[in-house]
Amino acid sequence: MPEQVPAAGRESFGSRLGAAMAARGPLCVGIDPHPALLQAWGLDDDAAGLRRFSLTVLEAVASLAAAVKPQVALYERHGSAGMAVLEELLATARDSSVLTIADAKRGDIGSTMAAYADAWLRDGSPLAADAVTLSPYLGFESLRPALDLAADTGRGVFVLALTSNPEGASVQHVGGRDSVARRITESAAAENARYGGSLGSVGLVVGATVGSALTDLELDLASVRGPILAPGLGAQGATPADLRATFGTAYPLVLGTSSRGILTAGPQVSGLREAALHTLDGLRG
């Protein structure tokens, strides 16, 4: 029997994720149904193909990954039928033993942010996930409705800090030692004070590919006391060894995430499981 992950509501997201990472290891599997992957799996680029793809990945990894991360854009491109598949995926995951991180990268003025929070973080919302990714570039404080609703419902957020794409540096590195990334990191640390001594529910996104940026910008991620979602493993070139070298003492907070690097091993459940286990082995080291 896989370890059961407690549902949202009773316990904070940080504490639930910490328990899942301790039990299973630090792997998040991205569910990114790109058209090319659907084709490679012998599926049509339509809602039925999307559904088969999504539920197959969930079946393969729900008992071994700490979390899955559906990429919302790849459901949105199918319109309402795609969003219905995302709702079904999230509902099915809720009944299984894996945490969900909706990769929606939301961010807007506070009044609109309240609606995004309602969609992704409210109990009973059809799109409710355990956590959602947020973009802080309208100001960290504009995320307030999501930060507060997540705390109320035992859910979490991952705020973009240092993204895995090369263009991210043109905004995130601005300011040198007082960089934009540092402001975001410090704001997340302040938010996590409300979670006392345990792992906070306000995580950061820091790419596995950022190389020496943490040292160059003198960022101390361990002091954030929140989980670090690290995309960039596999298809974007980073390895588990890179992750260890990049994050150093903050590595125990890191949840490595890989999408295409694992998804190309489908469509067989056994192939997907093997690829996920291989990545997990590397991350556990």
Nearest residue (CB) to ligand OMP, 43 versus 181 = 181
Nearest residue (CB) to ligand OMP, 25 versus 30 = 30
* Binding residues among 165-204 for ligand OMP as defined by CB under 6 A: none
Phi and psi torsions of 179, nearest 5°:
-70, 165
Comparing CA positions, the residue from 192, 195, 221 lying closest to residue 206 is 221
Which listed range, 57-65, 116-124, 142-150, 255-263, lies at the site for ligand OMP (CB under 6 A)?
Answer: 255-263
Q: Does 256 bind ligand OMP (CB under 6 A)?
A: no
Closest approach, Cβ 126 to ligand OMP, in A, equals 21
Measured distance CA(27)–CA(255) in Å, rounded: 6
Is residue 105 part of the annotated active site? The answer reads yes
Which listed range, 12-20, 111-119, 182-190, 254-262, lies at the site for ligand OMP (CB under 6 A)?
Answer: 254-262
3-state DSSP call for residue 185?
A: helix
Q: Is the dihedral of CA 171, 221, 184, 242 positive or negative?
A: positive
Closest approach, Cβ 210 to ligand OMP, in A, equals 9
Size of the site for ligand OMP (CB under 6 A): 18
Q: Does 235 bind ligand OMP (CB under 6 A)?
A: yes
Comparing CA positions, the residue from 44, 5, 47 lying closest to residue 22 is 5
Which listed range, 48-56, 145-153, 196-204, 259-267, lies at the site for ligand OMP (CB under 6 A)?
Answer: 259-267
Q: Contacting ligand OMP (CB under 6 A), which of 143, 259, 275, 279? A: 259
Q: Does 261 bind ligand OMP (CB under 6 A)?
A: yes
Q: Is the dihedral of CA 101, 107, 109, 112 positive or negative?
A: negative
Q: Does 205 bind ligand OMP (CB under 6 A)?
A: yes
Measured distance CA(17)–CA(202) in Å, rounded: 11
Nearest residue (CB) to ligand OMP, 232 versus 240 = 232
Pairing of strands 254-258, 202-206: unpaired
Q: Does 130 bind ligand OMP (CB under 6 A)?
A: no
Among residues 105, 122, 144, 260, which one is catalytic?
105
Closest approach, Cβ 196 to ligand OMP, in A, equals 27
* Binding residues among 131-170 for ligand OMP as defined by CB under 6 A: 133, 163-164
DSSP character at residue 133: E
Q: DSSP string of 194-210?
A: GGTTSPPSEEEEE-TT-
Measured distance CA(166)–CA(246) in Å, rounded: 16
Measured distance CA(54)–CA(88) in Å, rounded: 9
17 touches 67 (CB < 8 A): yes
Closest approach, Cβ 100 to ligand OMP, in A, equals 13
Measured distance CA(234)–CA(178) in Å, rounded: 31
Binding residues for ligand OMP, rule: CB under 6 A, are 30, 32, 71, 103, 133, 163-164, 205, 207, 231-232, 234-236, 258-261
> Known catalytic residues?
105
